[in-house]
Structure 1
Amino acid sequence: MYEALTYQGMLKEIAYNVRNKNVMNDTIGILVTRPDLPTGKEILNSLEYFHFRTGKTINFYLPGYGAYWPRTEYSDRKEVVEIDGVKWFFSNEKFVQYIEDLEKYSKWEYSGESELLLIELKEGKLSYKCMLQFYLDNMIRDGVIVSIHQFFEKVMRICSQTNSAKQISNAMGIDKAKQIMRDKLLEKLPADMGIIFGQERYFCVRNLE
């Protein structure tokens, strides 16, 4: 797990890994969540576990979160979790700043709830051409996934075997899952709305460059 106090801070960390660790092609995870969200609370309760569990499998960045913050900075900071003996904090101000920057440099738009974004790092540069976007709160509410923990275990296991967004999508059976959920939704929605609604309510693969 990496702090991502700002979008530019994340880019600097990625550049460091490219330059010093030769990580040129990889999958970058951006975990967009806040402590006040139901899924955010569940994630934070197990964040230390996720930190150790991910290891070298995938780099997750947490917008608005960080450690070793000076007492005189970030007046709205809140202590939210302790990872390996180090206190981590959250700042709504910095979270919003990160969101605005990500929306500025891509076509992504924040849903207002918890999302997991999987973005490809190609030849040392972030590529938004094939971004996987998961709406975690909707997935939990509608029973698409049993729990955040089970979902992340699957993501980490798949990412340990590939760093291609397309291969990750295939491995997770996203197309099949879409069809199953579309069938369920069509029972409740008008036929002309079902397909569009089902495709984007839970997860999607998009070109957001």
Structure 2
Amino acid sequence: MSLPLLLSFIGLCVLLALTPGPDTFLVLRFSMAGPRPGIAAAAGSACGGIVWAVVVAAGVATLLEQSATAYRSLKVIGGIYLLYLGIRALLAHRKGLAEPELEQSGARVSSVRSAFAAGLLSCVFNPKVGLFYLAVLPQFLAQVNFVNALTLGAIESTIAAAEMVLLAVAAARAVTLLRRPKVRDRLEQASAAILAALGVGTVASAA
């Protein structure tokens, strides 16, 4: 790949990273509990992008493009998962336990792990990520092969992860600076509701 093409691809990735999506709201949701869970969710999403890069590089993602049933099935699963996360967060908030895992130091690790898993699964169950790689990567490659496709996928995932980590840190600091329980409660409710709405919208669009 030539340097101009690489710079063009990086610019495209930056623009896409700045566009809000399900992963963005997921990171914001976990950032309400602190920077570590938000960063973990961002890292999980980036790893999900790497998974899709491997799938596309191996040519498996072509099945999604050719099979409407496979695409819809994966999209429904992803939508249901987002809906589950949103409802779970809303129920936890209603009980006054927005992130119960943060109550104890041992459970704090569990919260970070659950945030990472949520980010990973949210990205893996989003077929649009795979189709993006499938449609865009060949435009920037003179020769499409496993190594080249995986390299560009890694670049895109790294840029997206960097943007979401910055978002997680900024959101966590903003919540800390506010130090107003009512404001934090509203932010938690809003982020959980957005996740649930995204889940419903995803399932509806698949149907």
Q: Flag the structure with higher helix content.
A: 2
TM-score tier after normalising by the smaller chain length:
under 0.3
Which structure's relative contact order is higher, taking Cα pairs within 8 Å and 6+ residues apart?
A: 2
TM-score in terms of structure 1 length: 0.25
TM-score in terms of structure 2 length: 0.25
Q: Flag the structure with higher strand content.
A: 1
